[in-house]
């Protein structure tokens, strides 16, 4: 098969660089163009020295990309500009968008959470939500995939099958999530300086984080009725990794073992999802650098409740890895291609 | 006033060393003896080089301490041996015990959680639970104070006043706690190696941690009826610090602002407790090295629930600092003496 | 005695905050004003939450400080603006300047390394170089003290006495230095983001760092002739701390033990300098948060050479602590006042 | 081609796990057996959860390996036991030994540095020193390869070609090296606990580290005469990575640019060695998880000297990666097979 020619828009950030790392070992795609407005004109190896030695085009401005010569786009641009750029792509281009711009299917919800009307409403309707394991069929035929957020990925993978199976109730879902700092991106902000992040932890976006409506949208779809969740994200001193600790109310009579059995049924054949046995505790460091999601579950001390634990690498399964997984699907390639490496530990 | 002569039992661990650090600047106490069985005979400065330059006795075995010459004991021994050692102290000695041995008032509960009957049951009954701000009167006259665990301190300080005031319900309290690694002590274990801890996070003791019954005991006392809690502790890459993220069900009509107001009323005059204003998010790094507890609260996205955040330094307010605060009280010294330094940031 | 009224210029950076932390426990000085141009109008506790609870004036712009009501100034402003601000202070004000502006006594050297002529040349001549242990007499009477750089402090404390005593040669001094990231300040730069600093190390300013001429100036003064040094600083993942590993050529017949003996002679009565015995290896974490410098020395495997090791906390002895030590001296206060706390470990 | 059947002896340590990670993607080798004496009987996934999902044999005791069914051995055993185990292997087995047991070619030197006579002297003579880029021809035909130490690899790669070309002198080579903590292995030692390593740095093995004679042996071979080096290793808070900062005396008239040119000549065709251009500073984090070595060089401020910088991942090019590179060579496979992934950053 011929190589698919891809452009990476916004390649000067962490998710862009991670795509390059993954695509570097992928024989099905060829990086045709990479953009980075402030770094246009620079070779990638000077922006990201760990990517030296690869044959890569230099960074250019978006306006300088010949999209006619491109089959597919990974869009790693910031929220807001994304929708206008994607709306301007020629129709033959298939896109996986890593921003939040096309994740919310409700135009009202978008306007509420982002403070302005959507600028490409017809695309928003067309876009397919790209949580691969749960939306595989729709993704295959999609022209535009909205790649899920990192937190939503870590939460939906364990919860959606449990809701669908009626094993947990949708009231009182309490999500306590911990993220690595790469999720905050590479832009220079005081709050993300080494001295401000190392050796400590704090919550942020408490009860107001934009990933909450995204989580709720997908859990609602699984439940068939609206769902609200408690969602408290935390920033902590790790570059990569994400842990969701989720306290859920069990359906009457259900036990942690039933949840585990359901996961095994649903995910038993999935390469990237691992279900730990009884007593197993997922650790973020054991999925570092990989596209895996590992989950475990415990009966809670509170009767009728359970504690669900789920880990991913926020830059891989939570961003660039899942984006590649989706693009593989869209172009008929093996879903795991370019994504089969083991985690890096220690 | 004459200096109170103290012995520190188990001074070769982190809590022992922290006591020495704090007492080094305290004019009311004099360190008369320090024990460390495996390191007996060594100067403290070779066990903890950061304590060089102080005039300190060398470490000795417990059997070599002349307790007749000692007024007070800080006991930092491991669980189990503690109760026998304290039972053997002469009656004039006043003790603050940093282990878990005397925290549970129910002998049955102790036997259940620790797997054997208590070996000093009459002392267990006598011991006063030493959460200073909440038990001040009893501590003053106590001969034996059971210093609270780090997790219980971080949870009880925010929750007990709210329960007493009837502002939160006691059902469905979901505690997600994150601890620095010093809480695991200085003994050499694979799980606590740098490479196993850095750049990652994981839960441990899920639904089975021994601090759960301690938390429940004190919340029950505040409520006047039994209380169960969901408690999930996590180990993360910071030496010092502890964050409790607590999701609570509000009493009918109560709001986060009411909880904040109650804290302000109860803790307004407390030196070591700080209540953040609306939108304030406590960070562990902002209490590092200090005896402060900082708390904040948010209305949750789930109607009728709130998110309580509380931070301490697990080695100070969660252990040695509170122990000194209690000992100050027991000997009629100003409660803040030796504990008034600012946190160390960055 | 009356409190000395001080202003801290540039209090919104790490060295400014560290001064506030130290002064908070100091009864001889009162913080009269603090400036932070971009944060003017804000309370210090919102800029640095770890400093909440102190009675502090809000941050103001420099132009709003009434220097007539101020006895002393700690100047933590960036290079360049510093010299103009200090030149404009009323003559009764005594100043410790933490910038590099007044450290180089040669106007030519200043112009070479900083790319422009000095704007306050007469002050540059007047300024006293403030390495306390080595310049105590001059500091006492100074109106303007140029507080040494962190690297120069870590290098000069061990080397100056050895050069003066003729125990080491001044040719081929090879300094390999490792700094905590707080030395880079709190301004938001990509290179200092958590993800760019954690879990790695790299050299910077190789053979071109501005602390090289400062080191050489003082070593030359000790030697009585010009000195050049090899100086390679490294940035590493620690907030605080600095280690200088220095390879020196011994004077004929000298051994590491002779160097150690000389240090003991020179520094034996110094509170803040500790000399480790044979085989002792200084660790940065054992001086964290303190004003101590710990040094050790080993005979090298290369005949006639030795390896000198020296650690400080770059924000304390390398900046704000030494500044306070100097100010204590200038106002006749005990040199250790406000600086006698033990290091914070772990 | 048929798969080569390999056994990994000592697979329960970090280097063993790293070999498994690399071999998991390698089609030329099949892991036939893995040993871990204390963990015999356990599946690898319970010892190293990041290796779950691979088809691997359980860990066994060495005595239970059928070496008749094995073509090749990676030996990751500790020093001392290694030589006896390897001496007992059947003659058809080809071995890469990651311990220090067969690196020193002089039996006297071995006895001096390790405190006892070598137990397999004839094998020590036979063993080929496996710095791949410098010993390729000998490695291809070797039955026993002594895989170089991490420090020696980081030092020899840059220095050996410069010595051979006569561009640097061999007197006064001053090596300041910084290592990640995984180099200390996975055994539980107080000194390697998270709290003892994070946020600090210290030297160890000053002027007495066993890698010094290994470095000297190979530099001497390049020089044609004995060489002594100053070697000061440091332990720092990173799991993986190694930086050698080396101060060298240039041959008369040589400049940094000449050294760079020589490297380019020697290593221009090497996949795993990268030479940075003028002003380029290698960072350990930019080779993390990869088999690359990146080097750079600067003219020193001291006339006639230069500063050489070299980085590797201590577990990959410094251990398991180079071991696999050597084994590829020994079995006629492409040298980069299984080793072509990009570094993981951030």
Which chains does C contact via 3+ CB–CB distances below 8 A?
A, B, D
Three-state SS for A230-263 is EEEEEECCCCCCEEEEEEEEECCCCCHHHHHHHH
Q: How many CA atoms lie within 13 A of D41 on its CB side?
A: 1
Which residue ranges does chain D devote to CATH 3.40.50.720? 4-126
Mean pLDDT of chain D: 97
CA distance A238 to chain C (A): 8
- The tokens for B64 are 């070599």
Decide: helix, strand or coil at residue C47. Answer: helix
Given C76, C150, C195, C293, the catalytic residue: C150
Q: In chain B, which residues touch D (CB < 8 A)?
A: 14, 181-182, 186-190, 192-199, 237, 239
Predicted local distance difference test score (pLDDT) of residue D37 = 85
Predicted local distance difference test score (pLDDT) of residue A25 = 87
Give the best residue of C112, C155, C195, C199 to mutate against chain D (max D CB count within 10 A). Answer: C199
Closest residue in chain A to residue D268, using alpha carbons only: A53
First to last CA, chain C: 37
For D204, the closest of C281, C288, C311 (CB atoms) is: C281
A305: which chain B residues are within 8 Å (Cβ-Cβ)?
A: 172, 230
Is it the case that residue B1 has pLDDT exceeding 80?
A: no
For residues D98-112, one letter each, b for 16 or more C-beta atoms within 10 angstroms of the residue's C-beta and e for the rest, the string is bbbbbbbbeeeebee
Is it the case that residue B306 has pLDDT exceeding 60?
A: yes
Give the best residue of D240, D295, D344 to mutate against chain A (max A CB count within 10 A). Answer: D344
Is it the case that residue D327 has pLDDT exceeding 70?
A: yes
Q: What is the pLDDT of residues B67-81, one digit of tens each?
A: 999 999 999 999 889
- The answer to whether A273 and A295 are in contact (CB under 8 A) is yes
- Spatial distance between the Cα atoms of D170 and D163, rounded to a whole number of angstroms: 7
Which residue ranges does chain C devote to CATH 3.30.360.10? 151-313
Is it the case that residue A1 has pLDDT exceeding 70?
A: no
- Spatial distance between the Cα atoms of D254 and D277, rounded to a whole number of angstroms: 17
| B345/C17 touch (CB, cutoff 8 Å), yes or no | yes
Q: In what order do the strands lie in the sheet containing D242-249? A: D202-203, D229-235, D173-179, D242-249, D305-312, D293-299, D273-275
| C285/D199 touch (CB, cutoff 8 Å), yes or no | yes
A197: which chain C residues are within 8 Å (Cβ-Cβ)?
A: 194
| B285/A172 touch (CB, cutoff 8 Å), yes or no | no
pLDDT grade for B122, boundaries at 50, 70 and 90: very high
Predicted local distance difference test score (pLDDT) of residue B25 = 87
Residues 6+ apart with CB under 8 A from B88: none
Is it the case that residue A287 has pLDDT exceeding 60?
A: yes
CA distance B195 to chain D (A): 5
Give the best residue of A176, A292, A345 to mutate against chain B (max B CB count within 10 A). Answer: A176
| A25/D340 touch (CB, cutoff 8 Å), yes or no | yes
Predicted local distance difference test score (pLDDT) of residue D80 = 84
Predicted local distance difference test score (pLDDT) of residue D120 = 94
| D14/B199 touch (CB, cutoff 8 Å), yes or no | no
Predicted local distance difference test score (pLDDT) of residue C37 = 86
**Which DSSP letter does residue A62 get?**
G
Residues of D annotated as part of the active site: 150
- Spatial distance between the Cα atoms of B293 and A66, rounded to a whole number of angstroms: 58
| B285/A199 touch (CB, cutoff 8 Å), yes or no | yes
Is it the case that residue A5 has pLDDT exceeding 90?
A: yes
- Spatial distance between the Cα atoms of D23 and D34, rounded to a whole number of angstroms: 12
Topology classification of domain C151-313:
Dihydrodipicolinate Reductase; domain 2 (3.30.360)
Give the best residue of A179, A194, A241 to mutate against chain C (max C CB count within 10 A). Answer: A194
For C21, the closest of B21, B274, B342 (CB atoms) is: B342
Closest residue in chain D to residue A26, using alpha carbons only: D341
B-C contacts (CB, under 8 Å): 74
Decide: helix, strand or coil at residue A269. Answer: coil
**Helix (H) or strand (E) segment spanning residue B149:** none
Q: What is the mean pLDDT of residues B179-197?
A: 97
- The answer to whether D181 and D207 are in contact (CB under 8 A) is no
Q: What is the mean pLDDT of residues A105-131?
A: 95
Give the best residue of C193, C236, C238, C240 to mutate against chain A (max A CB count within 10 A). Answer: C193
Which chains does A contact via 3+ CB–CB distances below 8 A?
B, C, D
- The answer to whether C164 and C222 are in contact (CB under 8 A) is yes
Residue in A206, A216, A239, A116 with CA at minimum distance from that of residue A163 = A216
| C195/A237 touch (CB, cutoff 8 Å), yes or no | no
CATH number of D4-126, picked from 3.40.309.10, 3.30.70.1150, 3.40.50.620, 3.40.50.720: 3.40.50.720
Q: What is the mean pLDDT of residues A271-281?
A: 98
Which residue ranges does chain A devote to CATH 3.30.360.10? 151-314
| C174/D178 touch (CB, cutoff 8 Å), yes or no | no
D288: which chain A residues are within 8 Å (Cβ-Cβ)?
A: 50, 344
Q: What is the pLDDT of residues A177-229, one digit of tens each?
A: 999 999 999 999 999 999 999 999 999 999 999 999 999 999 999 999 999 99
Helices A211-223 and A107-114 cross at an angle (nearest 10°) of: 160
Residue in C59, C145, C155, C84 with CA at minimum distance from that of residue C329 = C145
- The tokens for C185 are 């300040």
Predicted local distance difference test score (pLDDT) of residue A144 = 98
Mean pLDDT by 10 residues, chain C (346 residues): 91 98 95 95 97 96 97 95 95 97 96 94 95 98 98 98 98 98 96 98 96 98 98 98 98 98 98 98 98 98 97 98 98 96 96
Q: In what order do the strands lie in the sheet containing A229-235? A: A202-203, A229-235, A173-179, A242-249, A305-312, A293-299, A273-275
Residue in A126, A130, A124, A41 with CA at minimum distance from that of residue A84 = A124
Q: What is the pLDDT of residues B76-117, one digit of tens each?
A: 999 889 999 999 999 999 999 999 999 999 999 999 999 999
Residue in A105, A225, A250 with CA at minimum distance from that of residue A173 = A250
Q: What is the mean pLDDT of residues B183-192?
A: 96
ipTM above 0.95, yes or no: yes
D194: which chain B residues are within 8 Å (Cβ-Cβ)?
A: 181, 192-194, 196-198, 237, 239
pLDDT grade for D1, boundaries at 50, 70 and 90: low
CA distance B232 to chain A (A): 8
For D198, the closest of B188, B196, B239 (CB atoms) is: B239
D270: which chain A residues are within 8 Å (Cβ-Cβ)?
A: none
D247: which chain C residues are within 8 Å (Cβ-Cβ)?
A: 174, 176, 230, 232, 247
A-B contacts (CB, under 8 Å): 165
Predicted local distance difference test score (pLDDT) of residue C64 = 97
Please report the beta strands in C254-343, taking only residues with DSSP state E, as ranges in sequence order: 273-275, 293-299, 305-312
Q: Does domain A151-314 have CATH number 3.30.360.10?
A: yes
Q: In chain C, which residues touch B (CB < 8 A)?
A: 14, 17, 21, 24-25, 48-54, 182, 198-199, 239-240, 274, 283, 285-290, 292, 294, 340-346
What are the backbone angles phi and psi of residue D261, rounded to the nearest 5°? -65, -40
A228: which chain B residues are within 8 Å (Cβ-Cβ)?
A: 301-303
**Helix (H) or strand (E) segment spanning residue A14:** helix A14-23
| C288/B344 touch (CB, cutoff 8 Å), yes or no | yes
Strands C242-249 and C305-312: antiparallel
Write the DSSP assignment of B296-322 as a string of letters: EEEE-SSTTEEEEEEEE-TTIIIIIHH
- The tokens for A246 are 């989720």
C197: which chain A residues are within 8 Å (Cβ-Cβ)?
A: 194
Is it the case that residue A99 has pLDDT exceeding 70?
A: yes
| C237/D236 touch (CB, cutoff 8 Å), yes or no | yes
Residues of B annotated as part of the active site: 150
Rg (CA), chain D: 20
| B342/C198 touch (CB, cutoff 8 Å), yes or no | no
Predicted local distance difference test score (pLDDT) of residue D25 = 87
Mean pLDDT of chain A: 97
- The answer to whether D120 and D84 are in contact (CB under 8 A) is yes
- The answer to whether C303 and C5 are in contact (CB under 8 A) is no
What are the backbone angles phi and psi of residue C6, rounded to the nearest 5°? -120, 150
Q: What is the mean pLDDT of residues B2-28?
A: 96
CA distance D193 to chain B (A): 4
């Amino acid at each position: 098969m011929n190589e698919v020619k891809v452009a990476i828009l916004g390649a000067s950030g962490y998710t862009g660089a991670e795509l390059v790392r993954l695509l570097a070992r992928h024989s099905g795609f060829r990086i045709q163009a990479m953009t980075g407005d402030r770094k246009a004109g620079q070779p990638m190896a000077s922006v990201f020295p760990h990517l030296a030695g690869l044959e890569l085009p230099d960074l250019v401005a978006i306006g300088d990309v010949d999209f006619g010569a491109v089959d597919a786009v990974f869009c790693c641009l910031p929220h807001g500009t994304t929708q206008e750029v994607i709306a301007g792509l020629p129709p033959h281009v298939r896109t996986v968008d890593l921003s939040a711009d096309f994740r919310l299917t409700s135009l009202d919800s978008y306007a509420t959470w982002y403070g302005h009307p959507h600028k490409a409403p017809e695309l928003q309707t067309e876009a397919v939500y790209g949580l691969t394991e749960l939306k595989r069929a729709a993704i295959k035929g999609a022209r535009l995939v909205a790649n899920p957020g990192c937190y939503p990925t870590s939460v939906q993978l364990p919860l959606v099958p449990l809701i669908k199976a009626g094993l947990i109730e949708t009231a009182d879902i309490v999500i306590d999530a911990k993220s690595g700092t790469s999720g905050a991106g590479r832009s220079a902000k005081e709050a993300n300086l080494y001295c401000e992040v190392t050796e400590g932890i704090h919550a942020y976006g408490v009860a107001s984080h934009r990933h909450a409506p995204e989580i709720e949208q997908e859990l609602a779809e699984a439940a068939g009725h609206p769902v609200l969740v408690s969602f408290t994200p935390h920033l902590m001193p790790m570059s990569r990794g994400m842990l969701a600790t989720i306290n859920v109310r069990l359906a009457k009579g259900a036990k942690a073992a039933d949840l585990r059995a359901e996961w095994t049924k649903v995910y038993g054949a999935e390469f990237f999802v691992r279900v730990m046995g009884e007593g197993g505790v997922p650790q973020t460091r054991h999925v570092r650098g990989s596209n895996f999601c590992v989950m475990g579950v415990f009966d809670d001390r509170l009767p009728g409740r359970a504690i669900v634990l789920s880990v991913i690498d926020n830059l891989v399964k939570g961003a660039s890895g899942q984006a590649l997984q989706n693009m593989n699907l869209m172009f008929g390639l093996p879903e795991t291609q370019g994504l089969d490496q083991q985690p890096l530990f220690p």
